Structure 1
Amino acid sequence: MASRVPQNAAIWTGRDEGREVLKGDILLDQGLVKWIGHADKHLLDEYQDLNRVDARGRWVTPGIVDMHSHLGVNSAPSLRGASDGNSRKGPILPWLRALDGLNTHDEAYRLSASGGVTTALVLPGSANAIGGQGAVIKLRPPTDRSPTGMLLESPYETNTTVYDPTTHFRFRQMKHACGENPGRVYSGTRMDTIWAFRQGYEKARQIRDAQDAYCVKARNGQWAGLGEFPEDLQWEALVDVLRGRVKVHTHCYETVDLDDLVRISNEFKFSIAAFHHAHETYLVTDTLKSAYGMYMSTSFTVGYLTCIIAGKPPAAALFATHSRYKRESYRGSEFAPRILADAGIQVVMKCFLLFEAQQAYYYGLPHNLALSAMTITPATILGLDHRIGFLEEGYDTDIVLWDSHPLALGATPQQVWIDGVPQLATPHTADKPAHFQRLPQTPNFDKEVKEALKYEGLPPLKPKASVSHAVVFANASTVFVRDASSATGIKQIAVTHNADGPFSVVVKEGKIVCVDTTTSASRCARSVLQDSAVVEYVDLDGGSLVPGLTTFGSPLGLEEIMSEVSTKDGYVLDPLQDRIPKVVGGNGALIHAIDGLQFGTRHALYMHPYSLLPSTLTAVPASPTALASLQASSRQPAAGSSPGMSTTFSLAAPHKLADGAIVQESGAVHVAIHPMGVPSVSTQIAALRRLLLHPSEGEAGVWFDKVKNGEVPLVVEVESTDIIATLISLKSEVERELGTRLKFTLVGAREAHLLASEIYAADIGVILSPSRPYPSPWEAHRILPGPPLSEKSAVRVLLEHGVTVGLGVSVADKVLNTRFDAAWVALEANGTISKEEAIALVSTNIEKLLGISMGEGHGDVVATRGGDLLGYSKVVGVVSPSRGVVDML
Structure 2
Amino acid sequence: MDTIWALRQGYETARKIKASQDDFCAKAQAGLWNELEGDFPDDLQWEALVDVLRGRVKIHNHCYEAVDLDGIVRLTNEFKFSIAAFHHAHETYLVPDLLKKAYGHPPAVALFATNGRYKREAYRGSEFAPRILADNGLNVVMKDMTQVIPSFLIHVKLLTRGVDVVIWDSHPLALGATPKQVYIDGIPQLASPHTVIKPESFQRVPKTPNFDKEAADAVKFDGLPPLAPAKLGDDKTEFVIFSNVSSMYRRSKGRVEEIFSAAEAGGPGVVVVKRGKVICSGSSATCASFVRDVSAEEIDLEGGSLAPGLLSYGSPLGLQEIQGESSTYDGVVIDPLTGKVPEIIGGDDAVIRAVDGLQFATRDAYLAYRYGVVSAVVAPKASGFLAGLGTAFRTGAAHKLIDGAVIQDITALHVQIGHVGVPSVSTQIAALRRLLLGGAHGELGSVFAAISDGKLPLVISVQNADAMASIINLKKEVEEATNKRLRITFAGGLEAHLIATEIGQAGIGVILAPSRPFPGAWEERRILPGPPLSKDTAVSVLLNANVTVGIGIQEQWGARNTRLDVAWAALDAGGEISKADAIALASVNLERLLGVQADLDADNGDLVVTKAGSILDMEAKVAGIISARSGGVFLV
- TM-score, normalized by length of structure 2? 0.96
Aligned to 1:320: 113
1:90-101 alignment runs, 5 A limit: none
Aligned to 1:587: 348
SS of 1:537's equivalent in the other structure is strand
Q: 2:408 corresponds to which letter in structure 1?
A: Q
Q: 1:804 to 1:722 in 2, by over 3 A?
A: same
Q: 2:606 corresponds to which letter in structure 1?
A: D
Pairwise CA distance, 1:732: 0.7
SS of 1:848's equivalent in the other structure is helix
8 Å contact 2:564–2:616 — kept in the other structure? yes
Q: 1:659 to 1:535 in 2, by over 3 A?
A: same
Task: Write the deviation string for residues 317-359 of structure 1: whole angstroms up to 9, x where unpaired.
Answer: 011111111110111111000000001110001114889876x
Aligned to 2:248: 479
Q: Distance between the aligned counterparts of 1:465 and 1:669, measured in 2?
A: 35
8 Å contact 2:168–2:180 — kept in the other structure? yes
8 Å contact 1:320–1:357 — kept in the other structure? no
Q: 2:289 corresponds to which letter in structure 1?
A: R
8 Å contact 2:64–2:91 — kept in the other structure? yes
Q: Distance between the aligned counterparts of 2:332 and 2:213, measured in 1?
A: 40
Q: 1:337 to 1:356 in 2, by over 3 A?
A: farther
SS of 1:404's equivalent in the other structure is coil
Q: Distance between the aligned counterparts of 2:20 and 2:68, measured in 1?
A: 31
Q: 1:291 to 1:805 in 2, by over 3 A?
A: same
Aligned to 1:331: 124
Pairwise CA distance, 1:501: 1.7
Aligned to 2:634: 887
Task: Write the deviation string for residues 471-506 of structure 1: whole angstroms up to 9, x where unpaired.
Answer: 11111110000101xxx6101100012772211111
8 Å contact 1:599–1:656 — kept in the other structure? yes
Q: 1:643 to 1:447 in 2, by over 3 A?
A: closer
SS of 1:809's equivalent in the other structure is coil
Q: Distance between the aligned counterparts of 2:569 and 2:615, measured in 1?
A: 12
Give structure 1 stretches of 5+ with no counterpart: 1-190, 295-312, 359-370, 380-387, 389-394, 625-638
1:289-304 alignment runs, 5 A limit: 289-294=100-105
Aligned to 1:505: 271
Q: 2:250 corresponds to which letter in structure 1?
A: V
More helix by share: 2
Q: Quick one: which of 303, 318, 325 aligns to 1:557? A: 318
SS of 2:14's equivalent in the other structure is helix
Instruction: Confirm whether residue 526 of structure 1 aligns to residue 289 of structure 2.
Output: yes
Deviates more, 1:750-759 or 1:649-658: 649-658
Q: Quick one: which of 192, 195, 203 aligns to 2:2? A: 192
1:636-647 alignment runs, 5 A limit: 639-640=384-385, 642-647=386-391
Deviates more, 1:276-285 or 1:850-859: 850-859
SS of 2:345's equivalent in the other structure is coil
Aligned to 1:810: 554
Q: Quick one: which of 663, 674, 679 aligns to 2:418? A: 674
Instruction: Confirm whether residue 441 of structure 1 aligns to residue 207 of structure 2.
Output: yes
Aligned to 1:280: 91
Pairwise CA distance, 1:751: 0.3
Q: Quick one: which of 771, 774, 789 aligns to 2:515? A: 771
Q: Distance between the aligned counterparts of 1:317 and 1:223, measured in 2?
A: 48
Q: Distance between the aligned counterparts of 2:207 and 2:96, measured in 1?
A: 28
SS of 2:4's equivalent in the other structure is helix
% identical equivalent positions: 55
How many residues matched? 625
SS of 1:573's equivalent in the other structure is coil
8 Å contact 2:231–2:632 — kept in the other structure? no
Q: 1:344 to 1:527 in 2, by over 3 A?
A: closer
Aligned to 1:431: 197
Q: 1:862 corresponds to which letter in structure 2?
A: V
Q: Distance between the aligned counterparts of 1:692 and 1:503, measured in 2?
A: 52
8 Å contact 1:314–1:346 — kept in the other structure? yes
Aligned to 2:357: 596
Instruction: Confirm whether residue 403 of structure 1 aligns to residue 166 of structure 2.
Output: no
Q: 1:356 to 1:464 in 2, by over 3 A?
A: farther
- TM-score, normalized by length of structure 1? 0.69
RMSD over aligned CA atoms reads 1.6
Q: Distance between the aligned counterparts of 2:175 and 2:47, measured in 1?
A: 46
Q: Distance between the aligned counterparts of 2:511 and 2:20, measured in 1?
A: 63
SS of 2:58's equivalent in the other structure is strand
Q: 1:619 corresponds to which letter in structure 2?
A: V
SS of 2:213's equivalent in the other structure is helix
Aligned to 1:303: none
Q: Quick one: which of 393, 396, 414 aligns to 1:649? A: 393
1:134-145 alignment runs, 5 A limit: none
SS of 1:230's equivalent in the other structure is coil
Pairwise CA distance, 1:812: 0.5
Q: Distance between the aligned counterparts of 1:842 and 1:503, measured in 2?
A: 25
8 Å contact 1:549–1:842 — kept in the other structure? yes
SS of 1:224's equivalent in the other structure is helix
Q: Distance between the aligned counterparts of 1:773 and 1:859, measured in 2?
A: 30
Q: Distance between the aligned counterparts of 1:418 and 1:810, measured in 2?
A: 33
Q: Distance between the aligned counterparts of 2:153 and 2:83, measured in 1?
A: 23
Q: Distance between the aligned counterparts of 1:577 and 1:725, measured in 2?
A: 24
Aligned to 2:375: 616
Aligned to 1:870: 616
Task: Write the deviation string for residues 403-459 of structure 1: whole angstroms up to 9, x where unpaired.
Answer: 000000000000001111111111011111222111111210001111111001111
Aligned to 1:204: 14
SS of 2:592's equivalent in the other structure is helix
Q: 2:53 corresponds to which letter in structure 1?
A: L
Q: Distance between the aligned counterparts of 1:748 and 1:858, measured in 2?
A: 30
SS of 1:726's equivalent in the other structure is helix
Aligned to 1:344: 137
Aligned to 2:524: 780
8 Å contact 1:470–1:528 — kept in the other structure? no
8 Å contact 2:563–2:616 — kept in the other structure? yes
8 Å contact 1:476–1:503 — kept in the other structure? yes
Q: 1:398 corresponds to which letter in structure 2?
A: D
Aligned to 1:167: none
Structure number with greater CO (CA < 8 Å, separation at least 6) is 2
SS of 1:648's equivalent in the other structure is strand
SS of 2:32's equivalent in the other structure is coil
Pairwise CA distance, 1:464: 3.6
Q: Distance between the aligned counterparts of 2:291 and 2:400, measured in 1?
A: 34
Task: Write the deviation string for residues 685-727 of structure 1: whole angstroms up to 9, x where unpaired.
Answer: 1111111112311211111100000011110000111101111
Q: Quick one: which of 453, 466, 476 aligns to 1:722? A: 466
Q: Distance between the aligned counterparts of 2:308 and 2:292, measured in 1?
A: 24
Q: Quick one: which of 188, 195, 198 aligns to 1:422? A: 188
Q: Distance between the aligned counterparts of 1:577 and 1:441, measured in 2?
A: 53
Q: Distance between the aligned counterparts of 2:66 and 2:415, measured in 1?
A: 42
Q: Distance between the aligned counterparts of 2:387 and 2:573, measured in 1?
A: 36
Q: Distance between the aligned counterparts of 2:292 and 2:436, measured in 1?
A: 57
Q: Quick one: which of 219, 228, 233 aligns to 1:462? A: 228
Q: 1:496 corresponds to which letter in structure 2?
A: A
Q: Distance between the aligned counterparts of 2:402 and 2:45, measured in 1?
A: 62
8 Å contact 1:464–1:888 — kept in the other structure? yes
Instruction: Confirm whether residue 731 of structure 1 aligns to residue 475 of structure 2.
Output: yes
Q: Distance between the aligned counterparts of 2:593 and 2:245, measured in 1?
A: 31
Q: Distance between the aligned counterparts of 2:429 and 2:528, measured in 1?
A: 26
Q: Quick one: which of 55, 58, 75 aligns to 1:264? A: 75
Q: 1:482 corresponds to which letter in structure 2?
A: R
Q: 2:404 corresponds to which letter in structure 1?
A: G
8 Å contact 1:663–1:858 — kept in the other structure? no
Aligned to 2:599: 855
Q: Distance between the aligned counterparts of 1:433 and 1:255, measured in 2?
A: 43
8 Å contact 1:769–1:809 — kept in the other structure? yes
Q: Distance between the aligned counterparts of 1:470 and 1:537, measured in 2?
A: 9
